[in-house]
Amino acid sequence: MKRREAIKTAAVAGILALGMSAAPVALAGKAGMEKCAGVVKAGMNDCGTAQHSCAGQASADGDAAEWVYLPEGTCSKLVGGTVLSKK
């Protein structure tokens, strides 16, 4: 029984370590980025809105509520682009 518990503990520790190591990478990708609405192609949004809760569910091109992360300063140069926030 002790071996089985050790394997379970190691598996849980590995999963937690993997999750913890991936979090900084995901957050680091957002540095220097801004949320830009109104320029997203259908199905290419980065996150949820009031209409849905997941990325990739934009139903129409150029929807003013749908947004995508772009490098800072890019959104204001695009036709229909609106900066929502700086993070």
Q: Could you state, in order of their start, the residue ranges of all structural domains in the chain?
A: 1-31, 32-87
- Give residue 73's pLDDT: 92
Q: What is the pLDDT of residue 72?
A: 93
Q: Return the pLDDT at 27.
A: 41
pTM for this predicted structure: 0.57
Count the Cβ atoms, other than its own, within 10 Å of residue 34.
Answer: 21
User: What is the per-residue burial (b if ≥16 Cβ within 10 Å, else e) of 42-63?
Assistant: eeebbeebeeeeeeebbeeeeb
Which residues of the chain are under the pLDDT cut of 70? 1, 6, 10-29, 50, 86-87
How far, in Å, are 24, 42, 81 from residue 61 at the CA level? 31, 5, 12
